[in-house]
Structure 1
Amino acid sequence: MPQISVDYSAGLAGGFDRRALGLAINRVAEETLDAKPESCRTVFRQSEELVVGTTGGPTDVQVYVEVQMFPGRTPEAKAALMEGVLALLAEHVRPAPGARMFTAVNVAGVDREGYRNAVVVG
């Protein structure tokens, strides 16, 4: 843990290096949450469409990051993680000229008794 998901608009697909961003997010998670490097996993999912309000334009794009982790982290650690991720998004992801980019980070707790994982080596 943590499990990190990054949902991003299709309009951003060619505009940033997902691997570089994922590695940077994992480093921030390691530092702020005192997580083991191998426990930080970031997955990217492209979203086909974003609708903002009732007047959102076709060039609006979004990057939404969700960090799921076991409870026990301090509010300060969570805040540092969220601020660090937002800074990384500003550094790594650039919208097209004239586009509006919305960014958000959500930290969610995962029940330890309700979570299992495994590593399979082929």
Structure 2
Amino acid sequence: MSGRILLLPITGHGKANVTLINTKIEHRLIGEPFEKDGVKYMRLKDYRVSFDPKRVYMNFENLFNDKTLSDGMNRFLNENWETVFNELKVGYAKSFGIIFRELSNKLFEKVPFDNIFLS
């Protein structure tokens, strides 16, 4: 990993864990129907996700390749979790939206529209 959080440079290699507690997640799907063999299906053009956690815990292993610095940075990140997460959540939301859109389209392109969205 290499990047910046709140203007602080962060580098390292290792496992990461970001845990969101009591999170309200909103999903917005924007799609359009299409026909295949005379049957109507759905294709998502966009999938937007937003997160509103009550608390976030972060742990990044092996930051700076130094345990003392890594522990200090993890402590800082967790003490300032709201500010840090607000900086990260747009990127998380965009990444999850792309993944969810791809997964959803695999389902929507195989199961007819009327079998998913009942009248």
Please classify the TM superposition score into its range, dividing by the shorter chain length. under 0.3
TM-score by length of 2: 0.28
Find the structure with the greater CA-based Rg.
Answer: 2
Which protein, 1 or 2, shows the higher relative CO under an 8 Å CA cutoff with sep ≥ 6?
1
TM-score by length of 1: 0.27
Answer 1 or 2: which has greater strand percent.
Answer: 2
